[in-house]
Amino acid sequence: MRRLVVILLAMTAMLSGCAGTSPRLSAVPEELFADAAFAAPSTPVGSAGLFTLTQEMRDYLHSARFQSLLRSRGTERGLVTALYSKTDLQLEYESAYTRTAAETFRDRSGNCLSLVIMTAAFAKELGMSVSYRNVDMESWSRSGDVYLQSGHVNILLGVHSPSLLSETRVGDSLLVDFLPSPQNDPNRTHPLEEEDIVAMFMNNRAAETLVEGRLSDAYWWARAAVAGNPHNAMALNTLGVIYQRHGDPLMAERVYRAALAREPENVNTLRNLEPLLAALGKTAEAQAIAQQLARLEPAPPFLYFNQGVAAYRKGEYDKARELFRREVRRDPYNDEFHFWLGASYLQLGQLDEARAQLALAVDNSTQGETRQRYSAKLARLRQLGMR
């Protein structure tokens, strides 16, 4: 099955993870851009105002409740208590749209990248030191034939914070995370610069508008991500997907090759490039990439899931259950995998297991509509179990 792989950052979006260790380039690669081929963006594009506090946010900082928390708990602990306790802002985790600090505060929701950006904005306003980390983990989702790889970031603040979030001491700083503590293993993280966070934000916006079918807007967001951080293979991969969707395979090939020059074994870019080269008649090179991919990633994301769906539709529910189990083990955060595993259990008459998997689908869903759909199915299943 052909697919285009984009990377989003957030639990969240990395149409292929965060910035790696490839050399940093200062020159903007103008030969990778085709501005005349795209309409002007429908809304302003760029990172201006990403960390800017609105007057409402400043008023919140100076509110009696917030100031009381700072006095009673200290700056760092008070900040995190105010932002993430269930009694104050009541923020919701939601992944469909990557927000600026102001948008996250206004909407009271965001993915991990949005929450990191808002936390950093408040922390800097309070004079705290801030640093960022990328977590070596991934999760997958899809929209049509666009496959989205989600990564994860967290933030280091000055000292202590409450145990409302996952937290780990790193030297003299405290790691504040929006996922459970196993993701905080220092051996699975690497530091990020703020320019990496900015590039991730713009790359996420590019991926999100691409999924919505707004190719021109997606182009300008990806262009901004590449121009601001030319070493970033993730943003280049996204730009290549946009060219491919736009019907410009030669520009897509050029950009994919630029991404691979920075990260030669980036499997997402290789998976995008291989069918493109085949379509362009470059059969030998496409076959060489296919062999490279077979070595680097013999079982690509969604392999067992797609096999499981095929088995399920044939009525082979035992086989489907085992295939969905394998995919869940690889990606325990994917709500779709839990849902289909639950459906397989239901077909096999294993109601307790089906309810457990549907509950996990609800817990892991990061979009309101999907969560409501799963919740409705879970409620019906619970009623069935009570008869």
Q: What is the DSSP string of 225-282?
A: HHHH-TT-HHHHHHHHHHHHHHT-HHHHHHHHHHHHHH-TT-HHHHHHHHHHHHHTT-
Tell me the CATH number for domain 303-385: 1.25.40.10
pTM for this entry: 0.81
**What length is written for the chain?**
387
CATH class of domain segment(s) 1-299: mainly alpha
Q: What is the pLDDT along the chain (387 residues), one digit of tens a residue?
A: 234 445 443 322 234 333 333 444 456 678 999 999 999 999 999 999 999 999 999 999 999 999 998 899 888 878 888 888 767 777 777 767 899 999 999 998 888 899 899 999 999 999 988 999 888 777 777 777 777 877 788 888 874 333 434 444 444 454 566 655 444 555 677 888 999 999 999 999 999 999 999 999 999 999 999 998 888 899 999 999 999 999 999 999 999 999 999 999 999 999 999 999 999 999 999 999 999 999 998 988 889 999 999 999 999 999 999 999 999 999 888 889 999 999 999 999 999 999 999 899 888 887 767 777 888 877 877 766 544
Question: CATH 1.25.40.10 occupies which residues in the chain?
Answer: 1-299, 303-385
Q: How far apart are CA 347 and CA 312, in angstroms?
A: 9
Helical H runs in the chain? 55-61, 64-73, 75-84, 101-107, 112-125, 194-211, 215-228, 233-246, 249-262, 267-279, 283-296, 303-313, 317-330, 335-347, 351-364, 368-385
Compute, in degrees rounded to 10, the torsion defined by CA atoms 309, 314, 315, 317. Answer: -40
Beta strand pairing call for 173-177 and 166-170: antiparallel
